[in-house]
Amino acid sequence: MDSIKIFAPATIANVSCGFDILGLCLDTVGDEMVIKKTKEKGITISKIVGQTLPLEAKKNVAGVAALALLEKIDSDFGFDIEIYKNIKPGSGIGSSAASAAGAVFGINALLGEPFITKELVSFAMEGEKLASGSAHADNVAPALLGGFTLVRSYEPSLEVIKINSPKELYATVIHPQIEIKTADSRSVLKQQVTLKLAVKQMGNLGGLISGLFTEDYNLISNSLHDEIVEPYRSILIPGFEEVKQKCIKAGALGSGISGSGPSIFALSKGEATAKKVAESMSNVYKNIGIDFDVHISKINQKGIKILS
């Protein structure tokens, strides 16, 4: 095999109570990538369609992640990457993660799979480090493994766990077309939390994980709260409280900020409810007069998919 075409999915990180450690994989929104073996060693990016992003490998998350993988292996050839970008960078649904995860997944496949998928997470994280300054795994892990993933530990070693989730669980995500600077979405965060809030958040995270495994929708709903980050970050997203209220009214199990925003997600039982939620979310931004994209997706249990 000299060439591979893949679907690199969008992801929702944090999922309310799992700041920096929880993420889920979407099915209906993602990039496509074509990766080819080349005679020359190293990584080239020959084409990016849909967005203006750097072609220089060291400045593109796909190139950085690919180089991190190549450093660990003795390969006589190199790779060329083409990226067909559907996920807008800075939207909060893992645009950079899709490219980083897609690059290492595709190269690993062309190399005859020297690494298991879980091992690819740390290479993809190097790409995330370029995008956001911190090597977090809450987007790249669900993109690579599919479903929900939990980062049990970053240090001293990375441990990622795939979490089972009910088949009828759907995500709705709305991306209001406003720009939030990463620096702003980080600077509003408090570096200390009270014991009381930590206890609440731990209860919710444990409840969510348990609810996902046991397919207990009530427990999932009761647990989808973020006491630590959302109160501060949501201030940067116009219409956030209204969107959240309307989602719950439309039947969603819960709603929160997707990644560092500005996208807002909701989880629902069944596609029909997820569609109603999409309509309610859309109406809020139509009324405010902000352009938006909205996506409805079941949870993608596979992660990255090989198209050809």
Q: Which of 32, 82, 126, 128 is catalytic?
A: 128
Q: Does 67 bind ligand ADP (CB under 6 A)?
A: no
Q: Which is nearer to ligand ADP, 92 or 146 (CB)?
A: 92
Amino acid in position 204: N
Q: Does 133 bind ligand ADP (CB under 6 A)?
A: no
Q: Which of 56, 113, 159, 182 is catalytic?
A: 182
Choice from 91, 268, 273, 297 touching ligand ADP (CB under 6 A): 91
Cβ 152 to ligand ADP shortest distance, Å? 22
| Binders of ligand ADP in range 259-288 (CB under 6 A) | 259-260
CB-facing half-sphere around the CA of 140: CA atoms within 13 A: 32
Closest CA to 174 of 243, 271, 224: 243
Closest CA to 174 of 84, 275, 49: 275
Cβ 308 to ligand ADP shortest distance, Å? 21
The pair of three-digit structure tokens given for residue 76, joined into one six-digit string = 């006589």
Longest dimension (CA), the chain: 58
Edge-to-edge strands of the sheet including 169-176? Answer: 254-257, 264-269, 169-176, 292-298
The C-alpha atoms of residue 120 and residue 126 are separated, in whole angstroms, by 10
β-strand pairing of 78-84 with 43-49:
parallel
Residue 195 DSSP SS3:
helix
The C-alpha atoms of residue 280 and residue 250 are separated, in whole angstroms, by 7
- 219 CA to centre of own chain: 23
Closest CA to 82 of 23, 33, 144: 33
Reply yes or no: is the peptide bond before residue 176 cis, omega within 30 of 0. Answer: no
Which range touches ligand ADP (CB under 6 A), out of 65-73, 94-102, 114-122, 145-153? 94-102
Q: Which is nearer to ligand ADP, 76 or 179 (CB)?
A: 179
Q: Is there a catalytic annotation at residue 126? A: no
Q: Which is nearer to ligand ADP, 29 or 97 (CB)?
A: 97
Q: Is there a catalytic annotation at residue 182? A: yes
Q: Does 95 bind ligand ADP (CB under 6 A)?
A: yes
Choice from 93, 140, 145, 151 touching ligand ADP (CB under 6 A): 93
Q: Which is nearer to ligand ADP, 89 or 206 (CB)?
A: 89
For ligand ADP, what does the binding mask look like between residues 206 and 245, x meaning CB under 6 A?
----------------------------------------
Q: Does 15 bind ligand ADP (CB under 6 A)?
A: no
Residues labelled as active-site residues: 128, 182
Which residues of the chain form contacts with ligand ADP (CB under 6 A)? 53, 60-62, 83, 89-97, 99, 131, 259-260
